[in-house]
Amino acid sequence: MQFNRRAKLRVGNREWTELRLVLVVEAGDSSKPSRLTAEIYNLSDDSAGYLSTSEDLTADFFAGYDTPSLIGSGDVQRVETDWRGPDRITRIECADGGKQNAKRVQVAESGQVSTRGMIGKIADKMGFSGVEFGKIDDVKLPNGLVFSGPGREQIDALAKTSGAKVHTNLGRLIVLPTGGSLDKSATLITPDTGLIGSPQRTEEGIKFTCLLNPHIVPRRIVKVQSREISGFYIVRSYRHSADTHGQDWTTEVEAVRRG
């Protein structure tokens, strides 16, 4: 896993693989959008102009081994260029679901509706690419739903009614039971699979660093095996860092004990 590191950045209709890329994705299971930053070294004048003048751009971050995996996606919010010694560095700041989470919607549904159905309809109006539901209670609302305002506020209220919480990942809404996890197999974290150093205990679980692992996403179950600590945990937050011309190629994780 130390070798064959690959990264790619796609913004709008442009993409880069050969220039030096420094990619950072910070994500978690809270209602706040994931934050993504990219630094591109020595872009052409044409590409730098495209990034600084185009509107409504979406950026996709890829990193991994041999064939890079999608590790982050977000709306471009800021582009700036500066010099660092002989290098011209273009910095791009993005938010996953930034525009969608800020969108206001109008809903007028009469008759019986359900929390799950309404979350899906509102998410569609907000422009999310989809919704992934865990095993939540699909509460019936016999009197329908009439609402005008920030769509995310209404989604969070509906999710709370169903005993669930919502976060955004790769342009999709993820709706899971409060304290729950993604219904997928655990990702194994050991020294052989990339664990760096020893995990550290925290008040609610552990934190650890491993070689960059695209499989780690919010609320994913990880099975950690080390000399000091072993067990199953649920990812609460993480930071992917990938530098194609540097040493940084890691994932830093904070996880809670699986109940």
Identify the sign of the CA torsion 12, 15, 19, 24.
positive
Pick the last residue of a domain from 99, 120, 150: 99
* Residue 10 in tokens: 């796609």
Number of domains forming the structure of the chain: 3
> Quick one: pLDDT band at residue 4, thresholds 50, 70, 90?
confident
Is residue 207 assigned to a domain? yes
CB 216 within 8 A of CB 253: yes
The torsion of the CA quartet 18, 22, 26, 32, rounded to 10 degrees, works out to: -80
Is residue 86 assigned to a domain? yes
Indicate whether 39 and 62 sit together in one domain.
yes
The predicted-structure confidence for 98-145, as pLDDT tens digits, reads as follows 888 889 999 999 999 999 999 999 999 999 999 999 999 999 999 999
Indicate whether 223 and 162 sit together in one domain.
no
Q: Is the predicted pLDDT of residue 2 greater than 60, yes or no?
A: no
pTM of the predicted protein model:
0.91
Pick the last residue of a domain from 154, 177, 200: 177
Pick the last residue of a domain from 54, 77, 99: 99
Is residue 182 assigned to a domain? no
> Quick one: pLDDT band at residue 236, thresholds 50, 70, 90?
very high
Q: What is the mean pLDDT of residues 142-158?
A: 94
210: CB partners within 8 A, 6+ apart: 189, 193, 194, 195, 196, 216, 250, 251, 253
Is residue 218 assigned to a domain? yes
The predicted-structure confidence for 187-215, as pLDDT tens digits, reads as follows 999 999 999 999 999 999 999 999 999 99
Name the residue range of residue 233's domain. 187-257
Q: Is the predicted pLDDT of residue 55 greater than 60, yes or no?
A: yes
> Helix, strand, or coil here: 56?
coil
Indicate whether 23 and 83 sit together in one domain.
yes
Question: What confidence score (pLDDT) does residue 98 get?
Answer: 84
Closest CA to 122 of 140, 147, 97, 95: 147
186 torsion bin: left (phi>0), alpha (psi -120 to 50), beta (else): beta
